[in-house]
Structure 1
Amino acid sequence: MSALLFSAIVFTMACYILAMSLALVRMVRGPSAQDRVLAMDLIWTIGMLALLVLAIRYRNAVYFEAALLIALFGFVSSASMAKFLLRGEVIE
């Protein structure tokens, strides 16, 4: 691995850690439930992106599969939370 790619991966992971910590603060202190759901969705997305960067770093396909699972579960959880906030129930 080249030095440029290694430094780009380190910089990217540092940015993801910063963004995830800020989203975690918003999820804990959010003034409304919608802010908390949006922060949770952002944390899922950043986690998926971090796994994709790790897959590039280690050249391992398992990280891609884990990122796919995180994307699927993140979408389902965001959709169910949005439905719960709108209607008050998930299952009709």
Structure 2
Amino acid sequence: MTPQALVMYAIVASMHVVGLAMLLALVRLVRGPSVPDRILALDTLFVAAIAQLVLFGMYLGTAVYFEAALIIAMLGFVGTVVLSKYVLRRDIVE
């Protein structure tokens, strides 16, 4: 088995594990007992989506997916901050 094939198998296995993590985060997002749990699940889902895009970019050998992962990271950060601020103060704009 060549090293390239071993790396591809590792990437595919990692994509499956990250997919399972996304499924579990989605379950927590839907069933979360409280709003902070759901915000945390949404943030976890963003991080897992970023990991999935990076792994998919590595699998295909293209850099387009890395740029998409950066955009999702920025949107996820802003979304988490806005939702957390809304939960704490019930107002987004001060």
Q: Into which bin does the TM-score normalised by the smaller protein fall?
A: over 0.9
Q: How does 1:1-92 map to 2 (within 5 A)?
A: 2-92=4-94
TM-score (norm 2): 0.93
| Paired letter, 1:53 | L
| Paired letter, 1:51 | L
SS for the counterpart of 1:65 is: helix
> Deviations 1:47-91 (Å, cap 9, x if unpaired)?
001111111111211111100000000000000000000000111
- Give aligned-pair identity as a percent: 46
- Report the aligned-residue RMSD: 1.0
SS for the counterpart of 2:64 is: helix
SS for the counterpart of 1:31 is: coil
By how many angstroms is 1:2 displaced? 1.8
Q: Distance in 2 between matches of 1:60 and 1:2?
A: 16
Structure 1 residue ranges (4+ consecutive) displaced by more than 4 angstroms after TM superposition: none
Q: Distance in 2 between matches of 1:7 and 1:90?
A: 45
Q: Which structure 2 segments of 5+ residues have no match?
A: none
TM-score (norm 1): 0.95
> Deviations 1:7-62 (Å, cap 9, x if unpaired)?
10111011011101011000000000000000000000000011111111112111
